[in-house]
Structures are given as C-alpha cells and as structure tokens.
Amino acid sequence: MLILGIESSCDETAAAVVEDGRIIRSNQVASQAAEHNLYGGVVPEIASRRHIEAISAVVQAALDEAGITARDLEAVAVTFAPGLIGGLLVGVNFAKGLALAAQKPLVPVHHLRGHIAALYLTHPDLKPPFLCLVASGGHSHIIAVEDYTLFRVLGRTVDDAAGEAFDKVARTLGLGYPGGPAVAKAAQSGDPKAYRLPTPKLAGRYDVSFSGLKTAVLNLVNQAQMRGEEISISDMAASFQYRVTEILAEKLMLAARETGAKKVCIAGGVAANLALRQLLERDCERIGAALYLPQLSLCGDNAAMIGSAGYYEYLAGARAGLELNGLATLPIDDPTLAAGI
C-alpha cells in the first residue's frame, strides 16, 4: 500500500511516498533553514510563502522518485496539526486538491504522531507498546504509545520546548539557526561543568521546563557583558546542552522505571543530539530496556514520517473531507483523532 505524505508545519516543505508504513520509496525535502538563519529563527510569513512556491515541485519530485503517479496511491496523508498555521494551510489545501483530483482518500496526520512513526521506518521490527520522548522545536512530551493510533501523554514541557530553548540560546550566543546543531557543534570543545545552570523543580512527575534554563544563560551572558568579561561560548554551549539532556534523560528514565517499559524511544529534532543519544544508551542499559533511535535523517521534519503515520491512521479509519482545516494546536491524544476526522 502506497501512501503519499505531505509535511509543511514549519520551515520544511516535504513530500514522500511510503509503502506499508515501513518502507521509504521516496523522500523529498525543501529546506528554508538558510533563509531563516538571516533572522535568527523562523519567520512564519516567509515560511508560508516559500511553502507555496515549493510544494507542487516537491510533491512531483516525490512521485517521480518513487516511479509512480498519483493514481497509484492508496491515499494522501497530510500534517494538519499542530504547527505554524500559514504553513499548515498550504500543505492541507494542496493535499485536498490532489486527493480530490486523483480520487483518493485524504488522511489527516498529527505532527507528533508523525515524529513517532519515524521510528517504524528505522526499525521495521518495532511495535507498540513503548515509551517515547518526543523533543523538537515546538514540543517536549513523554508519551506512552499504547498502539499505532493510541497515545497517552505522561509528561510534557510546562513552558518552552527543548528545541525552542536550543534555538534561543544559540541566538544569545550568536551561533545561528537552527540552534540544536549549532549548540551541539560549539559544545564539542567546551566544558559541560564550566557554568552552573539550574534544574527546575516541577509538580508534574514527568514534566519538564526549559524557560528558566534559557533565561539563566541569557542573564549570565548579559551580566558578563556589563562587567566587560568574556563568556566562553563553547563552555556555555556545553553546559547548557549537558543540563537539557540530563533533564530529558532523567525524566524519561523515571517514566520507564515506574511504568515498567522495556522499549524506550526518542523522536523529533532533538533526537539527533549525540549527547542525548549517548546518555540514553547508558541509562537504558542500566535499567535493562531496549533503546530505539530514529536515523538522523528522519529526526527533523520530513514527509516520510507523515506517510508512515498516515498508513496506520488509514488502517484505523481516519479520513478527512474538503472541510479539513489546519490547527495551530491540538493534543496528540485528542479524542477526535482516535475517532477519525
């Protein structure tokens, strides 16, 4: 079964063809990162315009790479929530037009469910149930994946997402956008214990917070500048990365121990962070859990993950009509998703 996935929730215009939810037949991504780097982050209006300019060619390239036409598809899957509303609307409207013209079902996909599905493309043997940390520019969730379309949120960020904090700290340190890779590169030559950064205490047992951590970096940098002192960018990057990865790993391991999970996964853009991967490899070995990591090319936003998630949503009966709209926010466990749209 061939599913076309379309993704446009942020600054990547992407299309892919996925077979049976596990095999990538094509995967095309048009990145806007270089342009948004000029502004230190994503400019929604610019992102929307670039999606409009790129989406038709990206979808056609995905079909061509797979050696098929739209008539060969079983369905068209598209990210409809959550994300930047302008970008979502470009993808949703294009997908509606394509599905109508090709007379194919339209399958709505939640962006976070897509990130989790990237694991199925990397690990053909992986099946629910498992525990998954989804950490990206807009989200930081610890999720019990009970079935392919059944999710239970155990913990989440109460303020900034991990990836968002990386972006803001990178901007503070003058490292550019996207912040995750920039901070990780600078941290390679730094001392992770050079600066003492806070670890927030929260009421939610598995919840995380990064706003105070980000602010602590900003305050240290500003105070040094006022005193005429230099901040070691590599040491600050290493210290920040150490604290973020330590917080994420600690909360995920706590959830794994207390739920008895034997399969632990990470997904999303922050899943590409080598320090986090190494920390979780060590911790999972200590508790006797198997760790599943997505391949690096599938950590960031892409349409192959949407095609994979779309396959399982299709099997579960999720369908959308021409009334489908983009939604800037929507919980991954929203009951309307379980019932189909």
Q: How far apart are CA 157 and CA 89, in angstroms?
A: 26
**Residue 200: pLDDT band by 50, 70, 90 thresholds?**
confident
The predicted-structure confidence for 212-236, as pLDDT tens digits, reads as follows 999 999 999 999 999 999 999 999 9
CA angle (202, 208, 209) in 5-degree steps: 85
In this structure, how many other beta carbons lie within 10 angstroms of the beta carbon of residue 280? 24
Encode pLDDT of 107-140 as tens digits: 999 999 999 999 999 999 999 999 999 999 889 9
Nearest CA to 113 out of 68, 138, 79 is that of: 79
Question: How far is residue 84's CA from residue 213's CA, in Å, rounded to a whole number?
Answer: 25
**Domains with residue ranges and CATH for the chain:** 2-116+300-338 (3.30.420.40), 127-297 (3.30.420.40)
Say if residues 156 and 142 touch (Cβ distance below 8 Å): yes
Distances (CA, A) of 328 to 5, 83, 87, 263: 19, 5, 10, 31
Average pLDDT of the chain is 95
Confidence label for 339 from pLDDT (cuts 50, 70 and 90) = very low
Give the integer Cα–Cα distance in Å for 20 and 86.
30
Is the CA virtual torsion 120, 125, 131, 136 positive or negative?
negative
pLDDT in tens, 181-198: 999 999 999 999 999 999
pLDDT grade for 250, boundaries at 50, 70 and 90:
very high
Pull the structure tokens for residue 192. Answer: 């992770």
